[in-house]
């Protein structure tokens, strides 16, 4: 026992302190945005270690790996800042500069997916599975579903009803698993138009499952549900984890789905395992991924002995902004009601609402405000939060024109870009030659090789014990002149010493193909630098692939302004304005926040208007967006959307339903928008 070194009582309020220092039993911390939930987890982490808990016994599950690293980094800094502890660190110092038994790197942390992926590989022997599986992301899964559909020659139409698209199918399969609803019921309730296809879709789900098993492929849902299955049926495995992870913490618990909740419950079943989950039911915004905000509301039913701690003070936003956020949260009907009082002393400025005639004027308005506030801020203090990524198009254009540097988060993610997927497909087959989806992707890059040839050739390769010979020897070899060079490259790459060398070989081969296939190959090849840097950071293919699949660089490298020197790619958020989807902004905060497209039909989206729960989730999304703001919040709404060629005549109900005294509605014409109609609704 090291005794109290960090002065917890002066850093935390009473309830935060209680949460940080309650180290045994089950605890639920439920609280509104900005009340210090994540901060409390940070202090709890350092408290645990001060009190003799081994970092190896701690499991920290967060929404992104970056979030977990931040918690660990801050906890480490806390510990290191206390004189007597720092001294101990010195005494315990080993060669790699990490103190023995206190290395925060030894904490198991990350997302549910990365944790489960690690377990499946680490315990493959015990679980009787092949550790060399590759991960199908959502796009890969869609391709696989499509491929099976074609191979099995299932109908594309029944009584004139077209078969659903692969995106819809993937969605149905995933939702059915994450919400534990039968495919039939799900379709009858939510997709009545395609009900005639139910028998084929049910069969396709079985085929898809078989296909993945036969080829050592796991999709995102499999990774978690497989671990849950093994935890249920394999006592040794379960007890092993229960003995290993004695202190479990989960941030953003409101966004867990049924399999994730089960996973936690299975490991935490013994009373000796300590569990703390923190969350805000008002911020559950992942229902489309099967997240169930009731997990947080029903926590007490699963653990009747659990302690409930509420945090009621907000330290993020000024009172003027918090007033508005409180009014928004009061509109959310399902769940706990929470009124936060402010811990920030400067009253601040009320949020501003501004209606504009179209999207480009909206973008100009946002850029003007940034320029105006810039003397008191860095670019990184600003964020523009959009419901979907395409709603940032005009803002991006405007920023480019005005030389405002920015970074785009969310939207088309790095690894979802076509050329990145292509390159990764080569890496995947080197790691798991049974990855038929990757084979298919590669082979169909070549002129002369269609879907059927690709399938047959892949079958020949798999049947030939996964040697690459069939690329040269089968009758398909004549289909493309690229197959021989492909053979040579793969043979060479499979002998290569490092991930970096493999990537180099692949890129040498792939660049000419890219030039033929894509007009904007120059721009696309910029991304390869990011890939090469990542390759340098990893010493094995599986770590490299795992990192990309489960924790990809989330920006699509669309930036403007001064190119940054030094590190390329990955973390470019220094001194740039952030343009992000609201979903990707979860847990974060900025001094100045803009939320755009606030008209009825966009926010909330017209598709959600007829469904109470969906509308409620849209409302929560808006609440998440606004509660990111520390001191200034700007809300904007254009009348005309050129991307829709449509006028929206009503301001978002989310704006209209909040009492008018909480917000400043700008009616003054700005010189910029001379032709504007009077604003207000």
Site for Mg ion in 382-441 (CB under 5 A): none
Closest separation between CB of residue 74 and Mg ion, Å? 12
Closest separation between CB of residue 70 and Mg ion, Å? 10
Kindly report the three-state secondary structure assignment for every residue of 38-69: HHHHHHHHHHHHHCCCCHHHEEEECCCHHHHH
Closest separation between CB of residue 602 and ligand ATP, Å? 24
Closest separation between CB of residue 274 and ligand ATP, Å? 20
Nearer to Mg ion, 458 or 627 (CB): 627
16 binds ligand ATP (CB under 6 A): yes
Of 5, 6, 12, 102, the one binding ligand ATP by CB under 6 A: 12
Flag whether 501 is marked binding. no
Nearer to ligand ATP, 5 or 283 (CB): 283
Flag whether 34 is marked binding. yes
Residue 504, Cα to own-chain centre: how many angstroms? 29
Residue 68 has a CB neighbour count (10 Å cut-off) of 24
Q: Nearest residue by C-beta to Mg ion?
A: 38
- Helix orientation angle between 198-214 and 138-151, rounded to the nearest 10 degrees: 110
621 binds ligand ATP (CB under 6 A): no
Phi-psi region of 353 (alpha: psi -120 to 50; beta: other; left: phi over 0): beta
Site for Mg ion in 432-471 (CB under 5 A): none
Nearer to ligand ATP, 253 or 468 (CB): 253
Closest separation between CB of residue 14 and ligand ATP, Å? 10
Contact status, residue 399 vs residue 559, Cβ threshold 8 Å = no
- Helix orientation angle between 220-233 and 258-268, rounded to the nearest 10 degrees: 30
Of 72, 316, 387, 440, the one binding ligand ATP by CB under 6 A: 316
Nearer to ligand ATP, 38 or 45 (CB): 38
Contact status, residue 606 vs residue 594, Cβ threshold 8 Å = no
Partner touching 174 among ligand ATP, Mg ion, none, CB below 5 to 8 Å by kind? none
Query: CA distances (Å), 277 to each of 287, 299, 427, 633, in order?
Result: 19, 9, 37, 29
587 binds Mg ion (CB under 5 A): yes
The counts of H helices and E strands in the chain are 30, 20
Question: Do β-strands 108-110 and 58-61 pair in parallel, antiparallel, or remain unpaired?
Answer: parallel
DSSP 490: H
Site for ligand ATP in 556-615 (CB under 6 A): 587, 589
Stretch that binds Mg ion, among 14-22, 142-150, 579-587, 647-655 (CB under 5 A): 579-587
Closest separation between CB of residue 650 and ligand ATP, Å? 29
Q: Rounded to an integer, what distance in angstroms lies between the CA atom of residue 287 and that of residue 614? A: 9
Of 47, 237, 315, 476, the one binding ligand ATP by CB under 6 A: 315
Flag whether 587 is marked binding. no
Stretch that binds Mg ion, among 350-358, 519-527, 584-592, 624-632 (CB under 5 A): 584-592
DSSP 446: S
Dihedral through CA 116, CA 117, CA 119, CA 124, nearest 10?
130
Flag whether 601 is marked binding. no
Stretch that binds ligand ATP, among 11-19, 328-336, 498-506, 662-670 (CB under 6 A): 11-19
Query: CA distances (Å), 161 to each of 148, 173, 191, 199, 478, in order?
Result: 20, 20, 13, 14, 40
Of 226, 222, 302, nearest in space to 265 by CA = 302
Of 629, 33, 678, 657, nearest in space to 369 by CA = 629
Beta partners for residue 594, in sequence order: 384, 634
Q: Nearest residue by C-beta to ligand ATP?
A: 36
Contact status, residue 168 vs residue 250, Cβ threshold 8 Å = no
Flag whether 363 is marked binding. no
Partner touching 426 among Mg ion, ligand ATP, none, CB below 5 to 8 Å by kind? none
Closest separation between CB of residue 576 and ligand ATP, Å? 20
Contact partners, residue 255, CB within 8 Å, separation at least 6: 63, 279, 283, 284, 285, 286, 291, 293, 586
Stretch that binds Mg ion, among 34-42, 104-112, 283-291, 436-444 (CB under 5 A): 34-42
The pattern of x and - marking residues 253 through 282 that bind ligand ATP according to CB under 6 A reads ---------------------------x--
Partner touching 632 among Mg ion, ligand ATP, none, CB below 5 to 8 Å by kind? none
Closest separation between CB of residue 597 and Mg ion, Å? 25
Nearer to Mg ion, 430 or 626 (CB): 626
Q: Rounded to an integer, what distance in angstroms lies between the CA atom of residue 590 and that of residue 633? A: 10
Closest separation between CB of residue 135 and ligand ATP, Å? 28
DSSP 179-242: TT--HHHHHHHH-GGGGGGHHHHHHHHHHHHHHHHHTTEEEHHHHHHHHHHHHHH-HHHHHHHH
Of 15, 16, 35, 38, the one binding Mg ion by CB under 5 A: 38
Three-class DSSP category at 488: helix
Kindly report the three-state secondary structure assignment for every residue of 496-559: CCCHHHHHHHHHHHHHHHHHHHCCCHHHHHCHHHHHHHHHHHCCCHHHHHHHHHHCCCCECCCC
Nearer to Mg ion, 405 or 587 (CB): 587
Partner touching 257 among Mg ion, ligand ATP, none, CB below 5 to 8 Å by kind? none
Three-class DSSP category at 378: coil
Partner touching 432 among Mg ion, ligand ATP, none, CB below 5 to 8 Å by kind? none
* Number of residues engaging Mg ion in binding (CB under 5 A): 3
Flag whether 37 is marked binding. yes
Closest separation between CB of residue 64 and Mg ion, Å? 11
Site for Mg ion in 105-164 (CB under 5 A): none
Site for ligand ATP in 27-66 (CB under 6 A): 31, 33-39
631 binds ligand ATP (CB under 6 A): no
The binding site consists of: 31-38
Q: Write out the residues near Mg ion by the rule CB under 5 A.
A: 37-38, 587
The binding site for ATP consists of: 31-38
Q: Write out the residues near ligand ATP by the rule CB under 6 A.
A: 12-13, 16, 31, 33-39, 280, 283, 315-316, 587, 589
């Amino acid at each position: 026992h090291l005794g109290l070194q960090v002065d917890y009582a002066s850093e935390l309020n009473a309830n935060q302190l209680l949460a940080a220092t309650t180290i045994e039993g089950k605890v639920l911390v439920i609280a509104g945005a900005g009340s210090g939930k994540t901060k409390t987890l940070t202090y709890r982490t350092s408290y645990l270690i001060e009190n003799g808990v081994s970092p190896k016994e701690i499991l920290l599950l967060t929404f992104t790996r970056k979030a977990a690293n931040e918690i660990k980094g801050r906890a480490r800094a806390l510990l290191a800042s206390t004189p007597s502890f720092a001294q101990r660190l010195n005494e315990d110092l080993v060669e790699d500069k990490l103190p023995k038994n206190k290395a925060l790197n030894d904490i198991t942390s990350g997302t549910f997916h990365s944790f489960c992926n690690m377990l499946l590989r680490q315990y493959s022997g015990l679980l009787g599975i092949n550790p060399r599986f590759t991960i199908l992301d959502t796009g890969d899964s869609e391709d696989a579903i499509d491929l099976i559909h074609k191979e099995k020659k299932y109908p594309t139409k029944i009584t004139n009803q077209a078969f659903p698209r692969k995106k819809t199918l993937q969605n149905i399969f995933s939702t059915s698993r994450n919400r534990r609803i039968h495919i039939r019921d799900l379709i009858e309730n939510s997709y009545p138009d395609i009900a005639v296809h139910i028998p084929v879709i049910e069969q396709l789900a079985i085929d898809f499952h078989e296909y993945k098993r036969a080829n050592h492929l796991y999709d995102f849902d499999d990774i978690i549900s497989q671990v849950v299955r093994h935890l249920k049926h394999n006592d040794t495995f379960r007890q092993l984890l229960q003995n290993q992870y004695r202190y479990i913490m989960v941030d953003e618990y409101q966004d867990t789905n049924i399999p994730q909740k089960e996973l936690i419950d299975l490991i935490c079943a013994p009373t000796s395992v300590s569990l703390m989950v923190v969350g805000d039911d008002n911020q559950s915004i992942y229902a489309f991924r099967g997240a169930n905000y009731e997990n947080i509301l029903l926590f007490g039913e699963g653990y009747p002995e659990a302690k409930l701690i509420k945090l009621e003070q907000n330290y993020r936003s000024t009172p003027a902004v918090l007033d508005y956020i409180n009014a928004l949260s009061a509109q959310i009907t399902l769940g706990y009601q929470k009124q936060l009082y402010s811990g920030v002393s400067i009253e601040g400025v009320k949020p501003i609402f501004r209606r504009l005639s179209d999207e480009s004027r909206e973008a100009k308005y946002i850029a003007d405000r940034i320029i105006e506030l810039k003397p008191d801020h860095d670019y990184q203090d600003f964020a523009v939060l959009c419901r979907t990524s395409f709603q940032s198009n005009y803002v991006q254009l405007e920023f480019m024109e005005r030389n405002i540097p920015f970074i785009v988060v969310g939207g088309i993610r790095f690894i979802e870009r076509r050329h990145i997927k292509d390159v990764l497909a080569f890496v995947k087959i080197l790691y798991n030659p049974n990855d038929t989806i990757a084979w298919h992707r590669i082979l169909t890059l070549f002129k002369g090789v269609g879907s059927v040839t690709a399938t047959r050739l892949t079958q020949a390769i798999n049947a030939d014990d996964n040697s690459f010979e069939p690329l040269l020897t089968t009758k398909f070899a004549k289909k493309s002149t690229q197959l021989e060079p492909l053979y040579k490259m793969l043979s060479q790459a499979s002998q290569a010493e490092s991930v970096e060398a493999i990537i180099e070989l692949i890129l040498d081969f792939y660049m000419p193909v890219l030039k033929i296939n894509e007009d904007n190959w120059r721009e696309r090849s910029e991304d390869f630098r990011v890939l090469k840097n990542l390759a340098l950071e990893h010493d094995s293919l599986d770590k490299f692939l795992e990192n990309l699949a489960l924790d990809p660089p989330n920006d699509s490298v669309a930036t403007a302004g001064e190119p940054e020197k030094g590190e390329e790619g990955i973390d470019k958020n220094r001194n740039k304005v952030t343009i992000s989807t609201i979903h990707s902004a979860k847990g974060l905060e900025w001094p100045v926040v803009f939320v755009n497209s606030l008209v009825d039909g966009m926010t909330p989206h017209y598709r959600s208007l007829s469904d109470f729960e969906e509308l409620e989730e849209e409302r929560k999304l808006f609440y998440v967006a606004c509660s990111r703001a520390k001191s200034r919040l700007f809300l904007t709404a254009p009348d005309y959307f050129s991307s829709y060629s449509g006028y929206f005549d009503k301001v978002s109900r989310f704006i209209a339903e909040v009492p008018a005294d909480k917000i400043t509605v700008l009616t003054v014409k700005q010189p910029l928008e001379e032709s504007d109609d009077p604003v207000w609704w």
